[in-house]
Amino acid sequence: SSERHYRIAVIPGDGIGREVVPEGVRLLEAAAERFGFTLDLRHHDFASCDYYLQHGRMLPEDWRDILKPMDAIFFGAVGWPDKVPDHISLWGSLLQFRREFDQYVNLRPVRLMPGVPSPLAGRRPGDIDFLVVRENTEGEYSAVGGTMFPGTEREIVIQETVMSRHGTDRILRFAFDLARSRPKKHLTSATKSNGIAITMPWWDSRVEAVGADYPDVRRDKYHIDILTAHFVLNPDRFDVVVGSNLFGDILSDLGPACTGTIGIAPSANINPEGRFPSLFEPVHGSAPDIAGQGIANPIGQIWTAAMMLEHLGETDAAAAILAAIEAALQTEEGRTRDLKGQATTRQAGEAVLARFLG
Ligand code: NAI
Ligand code: MG
């Protein structure tokens, strides 16, 4: 079998996930055809609330055996709070994948696209183009802590931040490698060493230590409070921004928000060593408020397809999809209602496909 053969689990999930995933798949298939690789797409109905109502669980018992041999997971969105509480649907599916497949990198591009009005005044396409790298497994989101004397005057609550050298160095290495691969070769670290005076100075010291192996990458750091201000005031300053789980969580929502609609933003949950498949999904959720109407913006899912192909090494195909998205966004038929257009999901997907096929 050819090296450029990829086994992909396709999991649409709930709501608009089922409407936008087929548009992403159409671009994937077209990319395979045009760039000469092959895809083995395995479609699954689990990780959805309908599956839960039928089976009493979000995933089949052998989900690890089903998904582990895959090269990647192409995911839509999960959640339908009227049918299944979010903590059950999310923890029973997506968070299982992230955790058990050690997807310790959460990666989100922040890029101002043509045809998408930025909430930041005076910014044009090309002005904003950076990546947020979030540590996805430890840090502030630990299970270490507890409550004592609950409900009394003596009530005490503690939750510890857990940072390991293993976990910190590997996310930093990923971020430095990414910065090295880009023209600007610039890494920004989110810190708070003035206030969080134990873990954050240590984080800074790991940035210095790991950074010593990357003399060609310029590095700087900002405290998280002023960093959020710079995202809004000087977004052109950034190239690759790396943060702990909590800081990265904040930055990875703020970044895409600075570039317009949630409907076009992609994200990746990556296990860089490839011991497990990585998972690619749009930033948005299942949008029950517009599901079933065929009006969801498919571009977040299509951009997600491009990110997945880039991860698989199909960089030309990924770039071609991104160029097609940029071209389609500048046309009336490429814009859904969230972009003040009239296009249906299908029409917007078709607009991207048409530009992709040239
Ligand atoms: P959401 O992202 O689904 O929707 C927020 C708002 O953005 C809604 O008004 C929606 O109509 C709009 N929107 C989202 N995607 C859009 C698109 N492609 N085109 C046009 N408009 C779009 O977030 P919400 O409403 O907080 O959550 C809904 C469900 O999705 C919940 O069950 C939640 O847990 C789940 N969710 C799942 C995620 C995932 O699978 N990773 C991420 C976020 C939420
Ligand atoms: Mg978040």
What confidence category does residue 121 fall into, taking pLDDT thresholds of 50, 70 and 90? Answer: confident
- Domain identity same for 184 and 285: no
Tell me, using a 6 A CB cutoff, whether residue 81 lines ligand 1.
Answer: yes
Strand partners for 84: 80
Tens of pLDDT, residue by residue over 137-161, are 999 998 899 999 999 999 999 999 9
77 Cα nearest atom in ligand 1: 40
Same domain, 289 and 355: yes
Residue ID of nearest Cα to ligand 1 atom 26: 285
Model confidence at 17: pLDDT above 80: yes
In the chain, the amino acid numbered 42 is R
Q: How far apart are CA 135 and CA 267, in angstroms?
A: 13
For the chain, percent of residues with pLDDT exceeding 70 = 99
Q: Which atom of ligand 1 is nearest to the CA of 300?
A: 18
CB 307 less than 6 A from any atom of ligand 1 = no
Ligand 1 center–CA 213 separation, angstroms = 40
pLDDT tens readout for residues 266-291:
999 999 999 999 999 999 999 999 99
pLDDT tens sequence across 158-181: 999 999 999 999 999 999 999 999
Provide the domain limits for residue 199: 129-258
Pocket lining: 262 vs ligand 1, CB cutoff 6 Å: yes
Write out pLDDT tens, residues 237-257: 999 999 999 999 999 989 988
pLDDT at 1: 42
- Could you tell me whether strands 186-191 and 218-223 are parallel, antiparallel, or unpaired per DSSP bridges? parallel
Residue 281: CB within 6 Å of ligand 1? yes
Together in a domain, 311 and 219? no
Catalytic positions are 141, 192, 225, 249, 253
Same domain, 70 and 154: no
- The arithmetic mean of pLDDT across residues 2-28, rounded, is 96
pTM over 0.90: yes
Same domain, 286 and 252: no
Task: Confirm if 134 and 243 have CB atoms less than 8 A apart.
Answer: yes
Contacting residues for 185 by C-beta, under 8 A, at least 6 apart: 179, 216, 217, 218, 239
Residues 250, 135 share a domain: yes
53 and 135 together in one domain: no
* Ligand positioned closest to the Cα atom of 340: 1
Q: What is the pLDDT of residue 6?
A: 98
- Rounded average pLDDT over 2-8: 90
Number of domains in the chain: 2
Last residue of a domain, one of 258, 292, 324: 258
Protein residue with its CA nearest to atom 16 in ligand 1: 263
Contact (Cβ atoms closer than 8 angstroms) between residue 251 and residue 45: no
Q: Which of 83, 286, 301 to mutate to test the pocket of ligand 1 (most atoms within 8 A of CB)?
A: 286
